[in-house]
Chain A
Amino acid sequence: MKLGKTLGAAFVASVSWACMAAAQTELTMWYHGAGNEAESAALQLIIDDFNASQSDYTVMVESFPQESYNDSVVAAALAGNLPDILDVDGPVMPNWAWAGYLQPLNIDEAVIENFLDGPQGYWDGQLYSIGFWDAAVAMVSRQSTLDALGLRTPDVDNPWTGEEFAAALEAAKASGNFEYALDLGMPWTGEWYPYAFSPFLQSFGGDIVDRSTYATAEGALNGPEALAFGNWWQSLFVDGYAPGTSQDPADRDTGFIDGKYAFSWNGNWAALGALEAHDDVVFLPAPDFGAGSKIGAASWQFGVSATSENADGASAFIEFALQDKYLANFSNVTGLIPATSTAAAMTDNYASGGALEVFFGLSEGQAMVRPVTPGYVVSAKVFEKALADIANGADVADTLDAAVDEINADIERNGGYGH
């Protein structure tokens, strides 16, 4: 009798469990972090917590390598095989929204009120995606180098002017202690160019496209300010301050640590390595060339695919993931800048007095998102090519004019990209 009762109870429990499992809707999610164990573990923690927190949905993640992630998503969109939740690179988001891969994100926007600009994915007046983190670039140097060259130590409130920066490069070159004064990371082709170098253009007063209309690059990329930027950019290589496009990639990774460069324009992801190598590393803000000191904002974000039949569940997961404890944990394992100041205070590196605290200030005070337009994916490549050509000695005005023509032709071909 006792055995019968036990078996009966077990049967009822298993049926209940099976019914509950059957009632749960599976949400598929694609993520770009394959191969990054720490990042994947941090994401899995959020997923596990979400799955345990409610009984309506179960999130299942499929990770892709970052280098090929966008191609996989575009191919899946063509084949009509997108998941519910998509991971998207911030500057690419408008293109995917415009192309119909994403739908507006339906979350309580009060939750993201205190988020940095970089992780917020707005396009066409609607929120499409939101990220956990931002990344920032700084002029990496050593205090001993600044002191030896007799240079002022700039900070976020008082960055170097263009003239001060020019004097700093000249002093480093004249000292004879370095192979080059400045390492810009020229071998990092691709998105590094618009992300890292277009803020210089914006600091001169130009831009990749005219952001007031997003209908043209005329004036923004070939106006007087852009020409001044182009001439300055070319002078860095012609005058021997920075290695050009043929820079050895190995030197990009180890050159500053080995003392080959006085200054290195690099991101917060490389900061801990520099700090391990030298105890007097300083992270300086970008120079102000007249229109303010600027750096690029950068974030991968989460959105809901346009074909998802479970948008409510997908949005619920994304909103769940935006809690400070998860943002902080994500920052701790990846080294990236958490999206909120409250999460930053909970981290090892970005809390007050943390080794990378300065980067949160840079992101908060200077970061500028790349042009928020579906056409960015094309104009970014045009901009990259123009910068490489100018670095290699091409005529500045002709190159920028040609870049403007190419960007405008693309905008026209695509009917203005919906702006």
Chain B
Amino acid sequence: MASINADNRGLRLAVRYLVLTLIAIIFIFPLVFMVMSSLKPDLQLLRDTSSIRAFLPVGDISFDNYASAFDRVPVAKFMFNSLVVTGTTVIMSLLLCSLAAFSFVFLNWSGRNVALSIIIATLIIPFETIAIPLLLFVSKLPWIGMEGLTFGWLDTYRVQIIPLIADGLTIFLFVQYFRDLPRELIEASRVEGASWWQIYTRVVMPLAGPVLATAAILKFLAMYNQYLWPLMVVQQETYRPVMVGLQYFFQLNTAWGEIMAYLTIITVPVLAFYLVLQRAFIASIASTGVKG
């Protein structure tokens, strides 16, 4: 009887691993296809798509597509722009959205529930619907900089950063997480005479690692993949991000190999960022039930 149970357990384990392996393959094959295709000339790449060769480093393999991609597009400049815009936005978003959530959860002010409801309601509004009013708005905003007072934010980093710092999803994530923190911690801190700022910096945020990781990853992905907004507000190549740069490859005769090389290059920061934060991300997903 015991041996039958052991067999069942072994069988179940084998089936589970088989299913998980299949799922892993499904998710990883597009990446393998991308990397392998980036090493092949266009004609071979297109011919290989109809066979298993598409996932194998076979045929005329070289790094020529990478060299050509760098020739066609200022890859380093676009990567730098994307990382500046994304990095700044993520950091400022974590700070501002966590402060907003702290206020909603721990401070007692009238109208906070209504305000939070309105912010959460913005989750159902697609960015495309506010893009044009936002464009008209930012194109006339004032700014004080090295050149003194100027009007219009187009063709700058700030126009890609400031309007996108705060968002409903990030605030919602922090609110959900803060609500699960033991109230006793906050009350004890208040009794000890801690200010709200001290509670935020010394009690709440040190416990917010998982939600910080989750919010950072989601914001990073959203910002790194920005396409429509920079397309509308950036007219100079100097400020273009990587996703707009992808369009450089779609000519009358599309350079598929170069596209795959470019995609491989620009995917590296995303994978690296996720790998660094994945443990905290998974912990946060498990605790909040939020799906990315």
Contacts and interface: CB of A to CB of B under 8 A. Distances in A.
Interface class of chain B by DSSP: helix
Given A80-B139, A81-B139, A250-B47, A36 B251 contact: yes
B162 interface: no
B253 interface: yes
B195 interface: no
A75 B237 CA distance: 16
A269 B253 contact: yes
Interface stretch (A66-74, A108-116, A380-388): A66-74
B123 interface: no
A248 B132 contact: no
B50 A79 contact: no
Size category of the A interface is 20 to 34
A107 to B, nearest CB: 26
A259 interface: no
A66 B251 CA distance: 7
A34 B235 contact: no
B236 A62 contact: yes
Contacts of B248: 34-35, 65
A175 interface: no
A254 B41 CA distance: 13
A349 B253 CA distance: 18
Nearest to B72: A35
A75 B50 contact: no
A51 interface: no
A191 B2 CA distance: 69
A35 B247 contact: yes
A267 B236 CA distance: 32
B150 to A, nearest CB: 13
A37 interface: yes
Given A71-B231, A75-B135, A78-B136, A35 B49 contact: no
Interface in A26-79: 30, 34-37, 62-68, 71-72, 75-76, 78-79
B247 A78 contact: no
A312 interface: no
Contact of A68 (B154, B244, B251, B253): B244
A375 to B, nearest CB: 21
Nearest to B250: A67
A230 B201 CA distance: 69
B237 A63 contact: yes
B249 interface: yes
A254 B253 CA distance: 12
Interface in A125-169: none
B232 interface: yes
A8 interface: no
Contact of B247 (A62, A65, A75, A253): A65
Interface of B: 42-43, 46-47, 49-50, 71-73, 132, 135-136, 139, 152, 154, 231-233, 235-237, 244-245, 247-254
30 contacts: A34-B247, A35-B72, A35-B73, A35-B247, A35-B248, A62-B237, A64-B235, A65-B245, A67-B250, A68-B247, A71-B232, A72-B232, A72-B235, A75-B231, A75-B233, A78-B139, A79-B135, A79-B152, A79-B154, A81-B152, A81-B235, A248-B49, A248-B50, A250-B47, A253-B46, A253-B254, A254-B43, A269-B253, A270-B252, A270-B253
Given A248-B49, A250-B50, A253-B254, 11 more contacts: A34-B247, A63-B237, A66-B251, A68-B244, A75-B135, A75-B233, A79-B139, A81-B235, A248-B50, A250-B47, A257-B43
